[in-house]
Amino acid sequence: MQHSGLVQTVQVPQPCVMVIFGASGDLTKRMLIPSLYELYSAGLLPENFSVIGFARKEIPTAEFRDSMRLAIGQHCQEDFLKSGKVNNFLDNIEYFTGKYDDQESFHALGKRLMEIDAEKDTGGNRLFYMSVPYEAVAGIADNLGKCRLNKPVSDDSWTRVIFEKPFGNDLESAVSLNRQITRYFREEQVFRIDHYLGKETVQNILVTRFANGIFEPLWNRNYIDHVEITSSESIGIENRAGYYDHTGALRDMVQNHLLQLLSYIAMEPPAVFDAKALRDESLKVIQSLRPYEPSEVRSMVIRGQYTSSVIKGEVLPGYRQEEGVPPDSRTETFVALKTYIDNWRWGGVPFYIRTGKRMPTRVTEIVIHFKSTPYRLFTDVDDIAQSYNQLVIRIQPDEGILIKFAMKVPGTELKVKNVDMDFHYSDLGDVDLPSAYEKLLLDCMLGNSTLFIRNDQVVASWEFIQPVLDAWKNDSSIPLQGYPAGTWGPECADDLIAGKDFKWRYPCRNLEGEGEYCEL
Please give the CATH topology (third level) of the domain spanning 16-164.
Answer: Rossmann fold (3.40.50)
d(CA 252, CA 29): 21
CATH T-level fold of 197-497: Dihydrodipicolinate Reductase; domain 2 (3.30.360)
**From-to residues of CATH 3.40.50.720 in the chain:** 16-164
pTM of the model: 0.89
Three-state DSSP class for 150? coil
Known catalytic residue at 257 = yes
For residue 482, the cross-strand partners are 305
User: Burial, 201: exposed, middle or buried (Cβ in 10 Å; 0-12, 13-18, 19+)?
Assistant: buried
Which own/partner contact pairs does 147-155 have at CB distance under 8 Å and 24+ positions apart?
Answer: 147/103, 147/106, 147/107, 147/109, 147/110, 148/110, 149/106, 149/109, 149/110, 149/113, 150/184, 150/185, 150/189, 152/124, 153/117, 153/123, 153/124, 153/126, 154/124
C-beta pairs of 386-391 under 8 Å, 24+ apart in sequence? 386/418, 388/225, 390/505, 391/215, 391/367
- Residues with Cβ within 8 Å of 316's Cβ and at least 6 positions away in sequence, in order, are 236, 308, 309, 310, 358, 485, 486
SS3 333: coil
Residue range(s) occupied by CATH 3.30.360.10 in the chain: 197-497
Q: Which of 3, 226, 257, 369 is catalytic?
A: 257
Predicted confidence pLDDT, tens digits, the chain (520 residues): 344 333 344 588 899 999 999 998 889 999 999 999 989 988 899 889 999 999 998 999 999 999 999 888 888 776 666 667 888 899 999 999 999 999 999 999 999 999 999 999 999 999 999 998 878 888 999 999 999 999 998 889 999 999 988 788 899 999 999 999 999 999 999 999 988 888 888 888 888 888 888 888 999 999 999 999 999 999 998 888 888 999 999 999 999 999 999 999 999 999 988 889 999 999 999 999 999 999 999 999 999 999 999 888 888 999 999 999 999 999 999 999 999 999 999 999 999 999 999 999 999 999 999 987 776 666 665 555 455 788 999 888 878 888 887 777 777 677 777 777 887 777 766 666 677 889 999 999 999 999 899 999 999 999 999 999 999 999 989 999 999 999 999 989 988 886 656 788 877 643 333 333 333 3
